[in-house]
Amino acid sequence: KITVRVKPGLPIGPVLQRLRIKVDDKIVESIELPIMANVVSDLSIIGGAEFDSKINMLDWGLVSREQGRVSRLFIVVKGDHRQQVKLAVEHIDPENALQVVIGEAKNPGAQVLTFPVTVELAPDSPSVSRLGGNQGLAEVVLSTQHPTAKQLRFRVKFAVN
């Protein structure tokens, strides 16, 4: 039996790591075990069919330069600190291609708050590929002012053609 304890402060969302264990064996020096987890908090992201909440990724694929692309996500906030949450865009990569707008919370006095978030790739955006690989994926980081979940991140997979 192996128990893995995680210190507080991991970013919200999926965690994919490997644990290497050295063994006392002449044939095998070490064993690698995959560690898959999902760090949850009072904040979560929901979206349509193009958003995978298991890995916090918006998958646009190939986007027409002439048309651009717009998606609407929702940040759901629950828990005792929900009234303290103030969302703001902290970082966008690539900032010259993506625009992110956070709307006002819906039902501000309710047990669960919902913030609409619009993610846009404007028509005539520069040529960019963020399909993974060497270029990586685009990333959006939101600050939250929540006492323990200070940031919320999601990735965007796309290429402008």
- In the block, which residue shows the tokens 């999902």? 38
Residue 69's pLDDT is 95
- For residue range 89-108, list pLDDT tens digits in order: 999 999 889 999 999 998 87
Q: Which of 131, 124, 139, 127 is nearest to 60 (CA)?
A: 131
Decide if 14 contacts 38 (C-beta within 8 A).
Answer: yes
Q: 156 and 139 in contact (C-beta within 8 Å)? A: yes
Predicted pLDDT at 27: 85
Give the span between the Cα atoms of 13 and 33, in whole angstroms. Answer: 20
Task: Give the model's pLDDT for residue 108.
Answer: 74
Mean local confidence (pLDDT), 104-126? 90
Residue 102 pLDDT: 97
- State the average pLDDT over residues 49-77: 93
What the block records as the tokens of 134 is: 């060497």
In the structure, what pLDDT confidence band is assigned to residue 7 with cuts at 50, 70 and 90? Answer: confident
Pick from 156, 14, 152, 155: nearest CA to 75: 152
For residue 157, the SS3 value is strand
Residue with tokens 């020096």: 29
